[in-house]
Structure 1
Amino acid sequence: MPKPKIIYKRIGYSNSILIANGNNSILVDTGVSGRMKNFRILFREAGLEPEDIKLIVLTHTHYDHTGNLRELVKYTGAKVLVHQNEFGNLKSGFTPIPHGQGKYSNFISEVGRKLHPTYASPQPFVADIINPDKFDLSAFEIEGEIISTPGHTNGSQSVLIGKDLIAGDTFLNMRNGRIFPPFANDPKVLLSTWENLYKCNIETIYPGHGKRFTIEKSYKDYELWKQKLYH
C-alpha cells in the first residue's frame, strides 16, 4: 500500500491530524469546539471531499480533542473510533480532569476537580467502533494500526503508520521544551508507554499540542521523569 500523507493542523490550541488517503482518509482528533471552518479549509487544501473522511479517531476524550466531533460526523458521515476504556466517558459526556504532575498543574487540577469537574469533558456521543487494544487500518487501505498508549488517560491511544506516530497527548511539544505532559492520570504508566514506543522504530511524533518532532527530543524528558518517579 502507498503511504498516505500526514497533515497536522492546529485547531484552537490542540492539533488535529489528517491522514490523507483519497476516499479512505482518516482524521485524528477534532480540536477545540467552534472551529469547523478550519476543517473545511483543511480538507479542501488536501484535495478531499467531506465524504472522503471515512474514520475519525479520538486519541482520548478530553474536550480539546473532541470539540467538533458532532459537526464533523454530520459533515463527513465518518465513523468514530474510541478506545474501550473511554467509550463510556464519551457516551456519558464526562471525562475526569487529569492529575497535575507539578505543583502548579496539580493545583489547577485539584481546584478544577472541585469547582468545575466537567471542565475536561466532551459532549456526549456514542462511538461506532471500540478499540480493545489494537486496530488494524488495512480496511482503509492504510498500512498502520491504532495502538493503546495509556498514561495521560487510561484510554489514550495513538496511530502508528510506518515510522510516524500520531500521539495525542502521550507526547507534547511545548514552547518551554517540555515533552512529558504536565497533566497525566498515571505518570508511571505513561513512562512505561514511552519505553514500549521506543522499541517501535519510530522517527517522527505528531503530538496533541505543538509542532511535530523527532523522537530523540523526548529522551531527555524520559530520563528526567525516570529519575523523578523511581529514585
Structure 2
Amino acid sequence: MRIPKSSRWLAMFALLLLAKAVNAQAPANRFEKQVQTYETADKITPPPKNAILLVGDSQFFRWQTLAEDLPDFTIINRGIDSFQFSDILHFYDRLVTPYKPRMIVLHVGGNDVHNGKTAEQVLADFKTFVAKVRAKQPKVLIAFSSLTPGPGRWDEADQRKQTNKLLKDYIATQKYLRFIDLWDAMLTKAGQPREDLWVADRIHPNHDGYLVRVKIMRPLLGKPDKKTR
C-alpha cells in the first residue's frame, strides 16, 4: 500500500514536534535528581540567610574543599556537573530564588562554548540571569567567574577569551556586578596553561587550581561572617 505524500509530511512534522518536546524536557530529565538532592538537603537543614550563593557547573560541583578553602564565609554551593546557562535559567526558581543571598557567584559558560554557543549567546544568557535576579533583589552583588584555560580545552582558547572579554566589558559598565578574572593566573609566563593546576582530565582544577581561584575571589567576597580558629 502506497502512503500518500501528505501523510508522510504529517508524520515527519509530528516527529519534529516530538523531538522538540523531548529536547525541551532534557534539562529536567538530566539534572532533576541533583536538584532534588539539594532540595532535600534544604529541608533537612534549612539554608542560612544572607549567604554567598555559588551557582554553576562542575567547577563548583567538584569543589570538595570549599569549606576548608573559605572557612570564614557562609557559602551555599549549588553547582551541578555539566551545567550550561540554559540549565541555570531552567532551574532558576529552584536553585536561586529560595536562598535570597547577599551575593551570587556564577561559574558557567565553559560547557556552552564547548557545545557551540557563541560569546554573544553566553552574554545574552548572563543578561537574562541578571534580569531575573534584579526583579527581586535589585542590589544584590553578582560576580561572574571567568572561563578557565584548562589544557584539555585549549583548542577553544580563542572562543573562551572572547567570551571572557565580552562579559568583562559588559560587567564594567554595570552596578552591582563583578568579574572574577582567573585566566591569566592559570597561565605560564609563556601564555600556556599551567599543567600543575588540573586533574587527570586536564579540564577540571585540582586543589592547587582551586587555591588560585580562592586567592582571586576572596577580596571580592566582602567581610568574612564566620570566626575561625
**If the length of structure 1 is used for normalisation, what is the TM-score?**
0.32
The structure whose residues are more often helix, as a share, is: 2
The structure whose residues are more often strand, as a share, is: 1
